[in-house]
Amino acid sequence: MHVQRIAAFSQGASGGNPAGVVLCDALPPADRMLAIAAEVGYSETVFAAPNADGWRVRYFAPEIEVPFCGHATIALGAALALAHGDGTFTLQLNDTRITVTGWRKESGLMAALQSPRTRSAQAPEALVAAALGLSLPISTRACLPRLPRPARSISSSPWRAGRSWPLCTMTLSKGGG
């Protein structure tokens, strides 16, 4: 299986965020995609196969499938433009549908993506405690009284063990005065 190595957000041959890109006739089994991602060794490798409505897409890190990856989607847009000409390509992810546009310029390949929807909710007390290395029971507001808002959990899809995970973002300030 041919793996393209494309650096998104690069300028010429320098910089950028590398991703593996695999365009194939049919997606291989998940365990094979995971093994390929581990061999590639980048933070993510994207796999895409044509379907009736565009492209079926899955993203893999070296140890787990992930629901979405921005820089790998940009790399995929560039690869699709190179293989199929300039255009907007519909991508069916595991939980949503997005688009990526790829085109050629004199300076190289370009791409822009439509990001999946996100959702926000207050993080469960146990998640905040784990993130801060604290023992339960705790009061988030008592531990972090200067937070402008409660800690929030942000995820592009519901948490599912082994397939996706919530991101916990917290604003912390230096104690004192």
- Which active-site residues does the annotation give? 44
CA-based angle 102:56:15, to the nearest 5?
40
Q: In this structure, what is the dihedral angle of CA atoms 63, 69, 72, 74, given to the nearest 10 degrees? A: 180
Of 115, 111, 59, 43, nearest to 83 by C-alpha is 111
State both tokens at 114.
Answer: 């439509």
State both tokens at 158.
Answer: 């519901």
